[in-house]
Structure 1
Amino acid sequence: MALAWVGYLSALLLLSAYGAHRLWLTVRYWRLRERGPAVAALPQAPADAPADAAIAELPVVTVQLPIYNERCVAERLIDAVAALDWPRDRLHIQVLDDSSDDTAALCRDKVAALRRAGYDIEHRHRQDRQGFKAGALEAGLAASKGAFVLILDADFVVPSDFLRAAMGCFADPRVGMVQTRWAHLNRDASVLTRIQALLLDGHFVVDQTARARSGHFFNFNGTAGIWRREAIVAAGGWQHDTLTEDLDLSYRALLAGWRFEYLLERETPAELPEDMNAFKSQQFRWAKGSLEVAKKLLPAVLGSAQPWRVKLDACFHLTQNLPYLVTLVLLLCAAPVLVLAGDMPSWLAAVHAGLLAATALTFAIYCMTAQRALRRSPWRTLCLLPVTLSVVAGISLSQTQAVLEGLLGSRSAFVRTPKGGHGARAARRTRRYRGALRGIVIAELALFAYFSLFLLLAWWSGGWQRIVPMAMFTAGFAYVGTRSLLDA
């Protein structure tokens, strides 16, 4: 029992440290939220100049669309890009298609139609998928025509004024990348999509804004952002030795001296996974990839000339998925500690209550801050918070596997997140793209049984301080495990 106490309190202390950092980011957001980036006006021709003069001043932009088996959303993506408000002779579109199904034919037909309409668009179909998404972007960059590169994943629907709104940031020659905020097409499709939106909003409203406006390192999110081609090349290009090539390139570019800008007010809507296994595979990739990048680049960050505050924040940033491992340790130790240990000494009870309350409170403040900024209902957010914490507990097992694989250097393929095109039939459309049921689902259901046992013991022994956490843990693993089975 003593070992369980040590594990439980140690895990709670570590989670409190990450919670304190989350609170610091929230405070920085509040202090700096009005300090937006400098967005210069796009070139304007003199009043007496020919109409084409202003167009000639605009740079050529290459739009890269990395696609792999996206039959449900590929045409929507290409149509949205074709509607961009940018001169056609200044726009070069690359459909980087690694598909092995009929997506390739759909894209080929769509590209051919747009070429006949006068668009500079090409369909580049690879057969080998070497390097996965990073490999496709690398191959496309070698044939790109633009000095700037807009990258869009298949589930994004880019607004027509995107380039007009963002390109002005590049008036500063030191700016290498501009990122926009993700919005959500299907936020209210289910409890799962609402939870994802809540978590992503915290990242895009609080984390990205606080870091960008503090002059700290923040990253390109893989899509809905524009790169200066020169910055990509100077940083060493796209590399595919991690699962998060976007985070990897971002840190290499920042270490090379490039500046990034973040446009909080400019949103680019996208589709959230409505399938539990798709959600878990996406989270797995992000968690494992971030730890791979931490192993690869954290020594360079710590050895750089950056101020200690930037280095410390970068450590928290690159290891932000480590708390999933800590959470699983806490959950496994919490059951015997809270249910079997009996009454704890008063000093220990005070420490325990303080750490637990601080961790929960910082998470609540963080989420509420983001939702307030987006003018969303605070009451709906409050109701969703316990459910979110429960689901975070439920995915902690698969996320722990991702963290350990990232730390230990286990190699794995880039697994795409299936998209259904959003709508009533979205989940059915993605069924053909779902992978085989992973053994970890059985382990999640086993943990459901484990916590159910301790929930019964807690109910028998009495005390809300035992029953409530056990109920949350049990519900989390029950929901994640059963949804994984049903969505397989």
Structure 2
Amino acid sequence: MLVTLYGLCLLLLLGFSLTQWQLTRLARRAYAAPAGPEPVPPLEWPRLTVQLPLYNEQYVVERLIDTCAALDYPAHRLHLQILDDSTDETVTLAAARVAHYRARGLRIDHVRRPVRTGFKAGALAHGLTLTDGELIAIFDADFVPEPDFLRRVVPHFFLDTPHGPQTGVVQTRWGHLNEEFSLLTTLQAFGLNAHFYVEQVGRQRGGHFINFNGTGGIWRRTCIEDAGGWSADTLTEDLDLSYRAQLRDWQFRYLPQVAAPAELPATMDALKSQQFRWTKGAAETARKHLGQVWRAGQPLSTRLHATFHLLNSSVFVAILLMAVLSVPLVFVRALGAQELRPAFFLAAFFLLALVPLTFYFHTAWQQAARHRRAPRPGFLGQLLLFLAFSMGLSLHNSRAVVMGLLGQKTAFIRTPKLGLIRRQGAWRGRQYRTSRLLSGLTWLEGLLTAYFLFGIGAGLYLHEYGLLPTHLLLATGYGLVFYYSLRHAA
């Protein structure tokens, strides 16, 4: 049983790793191909609505509205909607900025709902009933789009051929306002860059399903309506609507050359709330759409990629099971349990999964370096720390995945935005708590840190070194998560 369970977890991890390797190959082909000319601006710019969903964003709301009011677009075709469900002073701050820009002739509305039904999805759906926009741009509260964002993105909706599928979404790459703020934000940027520089590019190159990332992109209104509109029955309303739209043959475009800078969570409870929402929402979306994906008339490769795309959060469950099982494997030889020796040898293959992932992350690292003023050293160190940190989140994220697959409903907890840029500012005094300061799960993460340290000690004592690299990564990752959880709760 131990061998079977361990082997199944290993197969899932290898499958995920090989999928990322294939996406990397596709992305590298895309980057190697000659860049096409930028699309010609339309003769008449379409009516465009910028939706800004807010909930208690007092530290960034003024920056957001000021930034979006400065977007370069024909004023008579532009409409800004401040979709404000806040319950704090964000309401007053937003109202003042709306009045300021309205007095200067900007078409801008401060939309307040009596009840926060459907959370972000409900706010976006409600806003659609109050605007005539043909295109809908969406920015979360921490985003700071450049003034030329709309003029660079909108023309891509006019590349459609007369008989081809219409473009339903144009998504852009996320930039990072505070990547250098701390180790926590640096590691997040490292992981997100892989998604935006490799995954999205590779999926687009291969003709596979991609996803709207919740913000930093523009929808065609008719695409939203044709796909059934925004729904709050998953925590990732963006991924859900993306799959519904593409299953109805709408085309998505991704522009890695256009960045929409945003803030990364600077505290552990903020990061955990974001990770919970993303991993649980992905599992909920898989539960909702995976069967339909396989019944759709898509190529087998697209269905396989969609499966790993929707189930990628389940990797955390495999990591957690393998991690917990790995310590007893250290004692296999010492106890002479011959029937369990295959599991010990299987454990060594875990490191094979890191080879394609290294290729995947290094490609993202190279592409990110092109957008920096100077190359940043330390790839191997950041890769190992990122892998360790991701392993350290496996308990927290596994709980979210299981809840999502079982259909357990939870509230939409937004990620706090604190107005941090680079190394400027501080989160203390600004923190918006998303959960209890220290939960039982946090103490269990500390216990697992000790458990994997014991595994390291046992391996050294018994001269069994096959699992030592894995246990070093696990102890480091759980130690970091536990440390930051304690530190940021103080």
Q: Into which bin does the TM-score normalised by the smaller protein fall?
A: over 0.9
Alignment of 1:388-403 (within 5 A): 388-403=386-401
Q: Cα deviations across residues 68-121 of structure 1 (Å, max 9, x unaligned)?
A: 001011111111101111121111000000101110110011101010111100
| CA distance 1:310–1:434, change in 2 (3 Å) | closer
Alpha-carbon separation, structure 2, partners of 1:316 and 1:323: 9
Alpha-carbon separation, structure 2, partners of 1:362 and 1:179: 26
Q: Cα deviations across residues 364-410 of structure 1 (Å, max 9, x unaligned)?
A: 11110011012264741211111111111110001000110011000
Q: Which moved more, 1:3-12 or 1:443-452?
A: 3-12
SS in 2 for 1:375: helix
Q: State the shift of 1:38 in Å.
A: 7.2
8 Å CA contact 1:4–1:336 kept in 2: the answer is: no
Alpha-carbon separation, structure 2, partners of 1:179 and 1:349: 44
8 Å CA contact 1:36–1:263 kept in 2: the answer is: no
Alpha-carbon separation, structure 2, partners of 1:225 and 1:36: 21
8 Å CA contact 2:347–2:466 kept in 1: the answer is: no
Matched, 1:134 2:121: yes
Q: State the shift of 1:432 in Å.
A: 3.8
User: What is the match of residue 284 of structure 2?
Assistant: 292
Alpha-carbon separation, structure 2, partners of 1:434 and 1:318: 26
8 Å CA contact 1:25–1:207 kept in 2: the answer is: yes
Matched, 1:89 2:88: no
SS in 2 for 1:478: helix
User: What is the match of residue 22 of structure 2?
Assistant: 24
Q: Which moved more, 1:100-109 or 1:169-178?
A: 169-178
Q: State the shift of 1:483 in Å.
A: 1.1
Give the aligned residue type for 2:387.
L
User: What is the match of residue 75 of structure 1?
Assistant: 62
Alpha-carbon separation, structure 2, partners of 1:405 and 1:32: 37
| CA distance 1:103–1:281, change in 2 (3 Å) | same
Q: Cα deviations across residues 447-475 of structure 1 (Å, max 9, x unaligned)?
A: 12222222332232345444333222112
Q: State the shift of 1:36 in Å.
A: 5.8
User: What is the match of residue 338 of structure 1?
Assistant: 330
Alpha-carbon separation, structure 2, partners of 1:420 and 1:324: 28
Q: State the shift of 1:435 in Å.
A: 2.9
8 Å CA contact 1:279–1:417 kept in 2: the answer is: yes
Alpha-carbon separation, structure 1, partners of 2:123 and 2:158: 28
Give the aligned residue type for 1:125.
R
User: What is the match of residue 124 of structure 1?
Assistant: 111
Alpha-carbon separation, structure 1, partners of 2:86 and 2:36: 38
Q: State the shift of 1:226 in Å.
A: 0.2
Matched, 1:357 2:356: no
User: What is the match of residue 244 of structure 2?
Assistant: 252
| CA distance 1:265–1:12, change in 2 (3 Å) | same
User: What is the match of residue 187 of structure 1?
Assistant: 179
Alpha-carbon separation, structure 2, partners of 1:228 and 1:466: 51
Q: Which moved more, 1:435-444 or 1:97-106?
A: 435-444
Alpha-carbon separation, structure 1, partners of 2:442 and 2:272: 11
Unaligned runs of 5+ in 1: 45-56
Q: TM-score, normalised by structure 1?
A: 0.92
Alpha-carbon separation, structure 2, partners of 1:36 and 1:262: 14
Alpha-carbon separation, structure 1, partners of 2:298 and 2:479: 45
Alignment of 1:213-232 (within 5 A): 213-232=205-224
User: What is the match of residue 53 of structure 1?
Assistant: none
8 Å CA contact 2:2–2:343 kept in 1: the answer is: no
Matched, 1:204 2:196: yes
SS in 2 for 1:431: coil
Match of 1:381 among 379, 382, 403: 379
User: What is the match of residue 152 of structure 1?
Assistant: 139
Alpha-carbon separation, structure 1, partners of 2:473 and 2:460: 13
Query: CA-atom RMSD, angstroms?
Result: 2.0
